Structure 1
Amino acid sequence: MKSQLSSSTEDYVKTIYAFTEWQDAPITSSQLAARLGVANSSVSEMVRKLKDLGLVDHRPYGAVRLTQEGRRVALTMVRRHRLLETFLVSELGYSWDEVHVEAELLEHAVSDLFVERLAAKLGNPARDPHGDPIPTAEGTVPRIDAHRLSELDPGHTGRIARISDENPDLLRYLAQERISLDTDVTVVRRKPFGGPLVVRIDEGDGSRDFDVADEVAGAVWVRNGPPHAGCALEPGS
């Protein structure tokens, strides 16, 4: 059955989850307002509603954390969103920088039955076009052991496992530079005086060095080993 929660409620819990998915610090009300593009007063009112619904824990001036039920709702929405993104790319020919907004619109309209049939049609994929893990119907999340490119030392070799979809321009730029998921990379060096990070891109029949700006290095995640290897399931609770 489709959730009886409002679209706004679903957006809030999904945003809270997404903020902490790739780092440990919980989200604050002001950060939530910035990510959703709404006033702080609107966030304060909605957080009170979410707390009344049992979806978040929050104390005045403190961080906002999902409850077990809030996490369940968030994972349901994340699953919808990422399956829709995958469908738009693999079946309708969208590019990876176009799908986020479309999926935001569609995720509130489709039924649970549609989502599960879509998952089956796609072969129950473990990740979306940007490398973000797709939660299972049971609420488990494929865990990816990956690190930001900006955190890696010279000599580190791995494969690109995830690229943040926050900035469509960055995605278009990487596509133009033929850099995508599962690209093999080696960290070469950091250029002096605050210069860019130099990485070596393996293109199968050769390699090339590429200068990576800080914004790009912070948005690209790299893991060791072949694609999808060592992908464990993290409980959704």
Structure 2
Amino acid sequence: MPSPAVDDYLKTIYHHTEWQVEQITPSQLAAQLSLAPSSVTEMVQKLTAQGLVSHRPYGPIALTPEGARRAAAIIRRHRLIETWLVREFDYAWDEVHDEAEILEHALSDRLLAGIDERLGHPHFDPHGDAIPDADGRVHREEFVLLADAPVGHRGRVLRVSDRDPVLLRAVQDAGLDIGTELEVDAAGCVRVAGAARTVPAGAEEAVWLTV
């Protein structure tokens, strides 16, 4: 049965491996959900029993195929809602996450399908995160974290983490919107259309570029 608590766990596990390969540990999961480790341990045991995750004691947590399907479905809802709020209601990209957290559990499948059609079946949300299709598939370009991009690397801003609204505003103020073409100049500095720009503090670990 649908459960917001279960969905939050599955979404967090899914998110963790979207932009890097290391699987999430119970302690990381607890930190990201702001929950006590004992509570996370209990829920992970329940999710394992339901066939939604696989986990061995002291090991990382991974989604099973069924868990991945369910996680993709709720993430699809969340990201379509974020895109809808930005395009149709002029929300800023740092304002949509909390609204989508509420609406993703309230919208019917019929309304969600209507939103998807009205938006033209988008592949990406306002932050550059891939929107899974109805079958859970995603379309994503090869990427590199800005912090790992060498000096001289040229790429397009592909994704900005939506975890910190303050950082999102700072990235936008710096002109590093999704789709911006840039060249890595030096640590903490990039060039956009030949002009040097300072990267906001923390953004190198929150901005992904095309390869």
For Structure 1 versus Structure 2, the TM-score category normalised by the shorter chain is: over 0.9
Q: Measure, in 1, the Cα distance between the counterparts of 2:201 and 2:85.
A: 30
Q: Can you give the 5+ residue segments of structure 1 that lack an aligned partner in the other structure?
A: 191-196, 225-237
Runs of 4+ displaced beyond 3 Å: none
| 1:157 CA displacement | 1.1
The residue correspondences of 1:138-153 to structure 2 (distance < 5 A) are 138-153=135-150
Answer whether contact 2:48 2:54 (CA < 8 A) is retained: yes
Give 1:77's aligned residue.
74
Shift of 1:213: 4.9
Counterpart residue number, 1:227: none
* 1:199 matched residue in structure 2: 190
Return the alpha-carbon distance in structure 1 between the equivalents of residues 70 and 122 of structure 2: 20
Q: Equivalent residue of 1:200, what SS?
A: strand
The match for 1:32 is 29
Q: Deviations over 1:172-209 (max 9, x none)?
A: 1122222201111011223xxxxxx221012xxxx420
- For the Cα contact (< 8 Å) 1:150–1:214, is it kept in 2? no
The sequence identity of aligned pairs, in percent, is: 48
Give TM-score scaled by structure 1 length. Answer: 0.86
Out of 140, 152, 173, the residue aligned to residue 176 of structure 1 is 173
Partner residue in 1 for 2:204: 217
Matched, 1:208 2:199: no
SS at match of 1:210: strand
Q: CA RMSD in A?
A: 1.2
Pick 1 or 2: higher relative contact order, CA cutoff 8 A, min separation 6: 1
The answer (yes or no) to whether the contact 2:24–2:61 under 8 Å persists in 1 is yes
How many Å separate the matches in 1 of 2:210 and 2:11? 25
When structure 1 is superposed on structure 2, of 64-73 and 112-121 the one drifting more is: 112-121
CA contact (8 A) 1:26 1:64 kept: yes
- 2:113 aligned with 1:119: no
Matched-pair contact (CA < 8 Å) for 2:51–2:67: yes
Q: Give the AA of the match of 1:210.
A: R
Q: What's the CA shift string for 1:17-75, capped at 9, x where partnerless?
A: 00111111111111111111111111111111111111001111111111000000000
SS of aligned partner of 2:17 = helix
Q: Is the 8 A contact 2:170 2:200 kept in 1?
A: no
Q: 2: CA distance between counterparts of 1:177 and 1:58? A: 41
Residue of structure 2 in register with 1:163 after alignment:
160
Q: Structure 1 residue 214: deviation in Å?
A: 5.7
Task: Say whether 1:131 aligns with 2:118.
Answer: no
Q: Distance in 1 between matches of 2:75 and 2:159?
A: 16
Distance 2:101 2:141 in 1: 24
Structure 2 segments unaligned to the other structure (5+ residues): none
Q: Is the 8 A contact 2:174 2:198 kept in 1?
A: no
Cα distance in 2 between the residues matched to 1:23 and 1:130? 17
SS in 2 for 1:142: coil
C-alpha distance in 2 between matches for 1:117 and 1:159: 31
Partner secondary structure for residue 89 of structure 2 = coil
Task: State which of 86, 94, 97 in structure 2 corresponds to 1:97.
Answer: 94
Aligned length: 211
The AA in structure 2 aligned to 1:200 is R
d(CA) in 1 for partners of 2:60 and 2:146?
28
Query: What secondary structure, in the 3-state scheme, does the structure 1 residue paired with 2:139 have?
Result: strand
Structure 1 residues 72-81 or 103-112, which shifts more?
103-112
* Counterpart contact for 2:161–2:206, Cα < 8 Å: yes
